[in-house]
């Protein structure tokens, strides 16, 4: 049973890669550490409760903080997320920023060459970053449900070795392909990919 499941996952990933290449005009993404494009780390949006612990915020204040985050561009939100991830002392605020980053990527129109995706790729490729932070970012990409997110996740499978990171990456790929809010124009491609994967497994068993 385990071999069958592994075979199914492999076949599905291969099919999805073919779909992504077809949709993306043959573009394949390679993770590269590179140099992050942020020269300075922005501060959190100015709010009346700045300096208070995130856990102490009321529900309206949390909504206010989240709304302020959504006014920022995606790359600035990512830089904020990175700051909170590295400091690891404000989990509540980091949670707000994580949700805002996922939502902003989802509603945005950035392509794979946008600064936010380049910085995300660099963060994921850098093995000096904590594995927990890299896994968290993989989960954010899975919730973002965008083609560039999927391209980055597929690149992780091709370039990284950590078992836990790879497991979460596969889960995020599955999340993207199964979410109803994924762009309708991609649905026929993924339905075809899933059918192809099932057919491949049936021939293997």
Alpha-carbon Rg for the chain, nearest whole angstrom, is 18
Cβ 118 vs Cβ 34: under 8 Å: yes
| Kind and range of the H or E run holding 202 | helix 187-204
Residue 51, Ramachandran bin (φ over 0: left; ψ between -120 and 50: alpha; else beta): left
| CA-CA-CA-CA torsion sign (49, 50, 52, 58) | positive
pTM of the predicted structure, to 2 decimals:
0.69
196-to-10, 167, 173, 183, 205 alpha-carbon distances in Å: 12, 22, 16, 20, 15
Q: In angstroms, rounded to a whole number, what is the distance separating the alpha carbons of residues 81 and 98?
A: 6
Taking only the tens of pLDDT, the chain with its 205 residues reads: 444 444 444 444 444 444 444 444 444 455 555 444 444 445 555 654 667 677 788 888 888 888 988 998 999 999 989 988 988 777 888 888 999 999 999 988 778 889 999 999 999 999 999 999 999 999 999 999 888 999 999 999 888 889 999 999 999 998 888 775 555 555 554 554 445 444 433 444 4
């Amino acid at each position: 049973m385990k071999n069958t499941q592994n075979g199914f996952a492999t076949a599905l990933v291969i099919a999805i890669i073919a779909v992504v290449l077809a949709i993306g005009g043959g573009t394949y993404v390679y993770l590269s550490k590179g140099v992050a494009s942020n020269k300075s780390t922005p501060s959190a949006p100015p709010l009346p409760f700045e300096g208070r612990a995130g856990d102490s915020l009321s529900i309206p204040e949390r909504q206010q903080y989240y709304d302020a985050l959504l006014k920022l561009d995606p790359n600035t939100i990512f830089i904020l997320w990175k700051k909170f991830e590295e400091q690891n002392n404000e989990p509540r605020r980091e949670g707000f920023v994580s949700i805002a980053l996922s939502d902003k990527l989802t509603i945005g129109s950035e392509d794979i060459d946008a600064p936010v995706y380049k910085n995300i790729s660099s963060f994921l490729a850098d093995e000096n970053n904590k594995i927990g932070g890299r896994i968290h970012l993989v989960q954010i990409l899975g919730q973002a449900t965008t083609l560039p997110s999927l391209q980055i996740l597929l690149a992780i499978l091709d370039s990284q070795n950590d078992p836990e990171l790879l497991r979460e990456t596969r889960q995020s790929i599955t999340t993207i392909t199964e979410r109803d809010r994924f762009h309708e124009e991609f649905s026929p491609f993924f339905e075809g990919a899933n059918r192809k994967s099932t057919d491949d497994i049936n021939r293997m068993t």
